[in-house]
Amino acid sequence: MGVLVEKFKEGYSLLFDRNWPLWVGGILLALLGVICMAAGRPWGVAGGLRVWSDWLFYWIGLYSTAPAHAFFLSNASILTWGLLFGAFGSALMSRQFAWRNAPTLELVKGLVGGVFMGVGSVMAGGCNVGGFYTALAAGSVSGFAMMAGLLVGALIGLKYLMWEIEHVTSKPPKQKASKEGGIDWSKVQPWLGALFFAFLVGWAYCMSFRAYTQEAVLMIAALGIGIVIQRCRFCFVRSFRDPFMTGEAVATRAVAMSVILSVFGFFAIKWFRADWQMVYIYHHWIGGLVGGVIFGIGMLLAGGCGSGSVWRAGEGQFKLILAVITFSMSNSLFKNYVWTKDVANSWGKPIFLAAVTDYFWAIVITAVVMLVWWAVMAWNEETDSLTIV
Amino acid sequence: MAEWTPDEVLDARGLSCPMPILKTKKIMKTLKPGQILEIQGTDPGTRNDLPAFTERSGDELLGEEQRDGYISFFVKKG
């Protein structure tokens, strides 16, 4: 028994003491993303956030008709719940969950960044995940436009942060002194985390008996995404921002590689399911580009993108909890406005890359763009030519 | 008592990614080689980001100390 306990401790330490390398995250996210696609609902974050506020505004009487998707058991919503739960459980398992307050200025940036992200993600058809990462994997030409927009937005946002450091001072929040005695939460957290996961998995199993198999599969996949993303501290913002900030390109490499891997999986599924060809294809190019710029500024202000804000909220960071709330609300309101005014058509047309070229060249083109991004940022890592800080 | 005596202290408590690193990078530019910066932080990401930063910048991460409610990191300008 002693040996088993020892091995168990080693395994726990390997998984939850140290962070996992980013490239591991890139591979696992590609795998989980393809699983979601195969289950009929590609991974996105903004869609779920929107459903939450759609219901909120319906309940308070602002919207007259009930939202089409259920608050909890609908495929878009469950993906974002799963991400939040996965990150929360993973933070508990690794004793990293804590209520983290931030200076007032930071909280304001969270609120404003959330609004920018909410609006940008409506225009681009999704956040950095649905509008860029999953969109590129699904062969949406708008994904390239959003990528360009995100790069521009990240630069603008970073410029602002540098200006702010020079010109604005903010006081750190009061730190609570740790209390003597009481429960040592760091010892309890991993057990709570394990219990939480056991409950969710059991619950997913029960759901599958109630004709909610798709939701159950998606929730398990999203839980996995939440764990992977929290353990790697996988951050899409970093992939766009760090080359300009510290010159580092680790995150860029991980994201570029992950997109290349996903493309194969998505295209294989789309090849066999011709009726899914237009799944996750959005308005090109104004929607992606302008939405990307707005979203990019927002994610720099908030310090988290769609996925990044949600997993950090799950870790107890108050600033990102606020960002998630305003993201969700502004996305719902703006989307509602766009639908009633029917303006989305002026943002361009949805184009499936493989329908313009063919499957082979669509994969080649996507991979080449990712490799160029990777190469430019790797060159910058050596030369710091693009670094502006 | 701290093992290292800092020349400058950066209070990054309550700040989240990327502000601690951004501020660190800015202050490090003003230090002379051999001077030490203490960074007080509460963001769990800093423990990953700081070693990655110093490795690239040529500065030396001396170590960290657990304080009451935050962690102090010590970086020596290279």
Q: What is the pLDDT of residues A152-193, one digit of tens each?
A: 999 999 999 999 999 988 776 666 555 555 677 788 999 999
pLDDT at B44: 84
Cα of first residue to Cα of last residue in chain A, in angstroms, is 54
Q: Does B7 touch chain A (CB under 8 A)?
A: no
The string of pLDDT tens digits covering residues A287-329 is: 999 999 999 999 999 999 999 999 999 999 999 999 999 999 9
Q: In whole angstroms, give the CA distance from residue A267 to residue A257.
A: 16
User: A209: pLDDT confidence band, cut at 50, 70 and 90?
Assistant: confident
Tell me the pLDDT band of A18, cut-offs 50, 70 and 90: confident
- Is the ipTM higher than 0.85? The answer is yes
* Residue from A279, A205, A217 nearest A39 by CA: A217
Q: Which of B9, B16, B25, B53 to mutate to test the interface with A (most CBs of A within 10 A)?
A: B16
pLDDT, chain B, mean: 91
Distances (CA, A) of A383 to A380, B52, B65: 5, 17, 33
Contact B22 A241 (CB under 8 A): no
Angle (CA) A228 A15 B47, round 5°? 80
Q: What is the mean pLDDT of residues A93-119?
A: 95
Choosing from B17, B19, B22, B52, the catalytic residue is B17
pTM here is 0.94
pLDDT band at A211 (very low <50, low <70, confident <90, very high): confident
- Give the mean model confidence (pLDDT) for residues B53-69: 91
pLDDT (0 to 100) of residue A175: 60
Q: Give yes or no: B17 in active site.
A: yes
Q: What backbone phi and psi angles, to 5 degrees, belong to A263?
A: -55, -45
**What's the rounded mean pLDDT across residues B8-14?**
93
Q: Which of A177, A233, A247 sits opposite B48 (nearest CB)?
A: A233
> Which residues in chain B are closer than 8 Å to A17, comparing Cβ atoms?
none
Compute how many other C-beta atoms are within 10 angstroms of the C-beta atom of residue A28. Answer: 21
